[in-house]
């Protein structure tokens, strides 16, 4: 009402001044509504951008983790894989010796053929050693 009175023209009636005051109040209310709608939209856009950035960072960190797993150079993990492949190869050779020499295993009065257990261990350990060496050589993820 103060604003309507301050812009009142000479000869303007009180009713007209009230109508001007109502128009001003409606205009202010409409302006506030528009500004709050714009603020909501800005907030939604900001949240969408934040979610998108977080998703990109998560995917980038996952890619980096996958990249670290796939690399096999210089870090402690590759030493573990190389040593495990070497130990599996050694286990294969150690189980091949009794097979090639024709030795048998005797437990009390029973004689067990070593080739049964030896062949199974040789196949498993040899295969595992081969696949680990091949994966390390081609730098695939293990």
Q: Are 20 and 7 in contact (CB under 8 A)?
A: yes
Domain count, the chain: 2
Residue 111 pairs in a beta bridge with 106
Token output for 75: 């870090």
pLDDT digits (tens, 9 = 90+) for 22-68: 888 999 999 999 999 999 999 999 999 999 999 998 888 877 765 55
Mean per-residue pLDDT for 2-27?
A: 82
* CA gap 48, 56 in Å, rounded: 12
Q: What is the pLDDT of residues 67-124, one digit of tens each?
A: 555 454 455 567 777 787 788 888 888 877 877 887 777 777 887 777 776 777 778 8
Residues 50 and 82 in one domain: no
Domain that holds residue 97: 72-138
pTM value? 0.36
Check whether residue 63 and residue 77 sit in a common domain: no
- Indicate whether 89 and 125 sit together in one domain: yes
Q: Report pLDDT for 72.
A: 44
Q: With b meaning 16 or more CB within 10 Å and e meaning fewer, what string describes 42-58?
A: eeeeeeeeeeeeeeeee
Where a domain ends, among 26, 47, 67? Answer: 67
């Amino acid at each position: 009402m103060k604003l309507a009175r301050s812009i009142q023209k000479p000869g303007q009636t009180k009713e007209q001044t009230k109508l001007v005051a109502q128009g001003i109040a409606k205009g202010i209310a409409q302006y506030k509504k528009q500004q709050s709608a714009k603020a909501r939209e800005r907030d939604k856009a900001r949240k969408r951008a934040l979610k998108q950035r977080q998703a990109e960072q998560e995917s980038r960190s996952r890619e980096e983790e996958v990249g670290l797993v796939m690399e096999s150079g210089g870090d402690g993990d590759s030493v573990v894989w190389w040593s495990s492949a070497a130990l599996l190869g050694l286990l294969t050779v150690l189980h091949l010796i009794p097979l090639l020499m024709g030795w048998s295993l005797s437990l009390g009065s029973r004689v067990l053929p070593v080739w049964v257990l030896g062949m199974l261990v040789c196949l498993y350990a040899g295969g595992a050693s081969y696949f680990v060496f091949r994966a390390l050589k081609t730098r695939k993820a293990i």
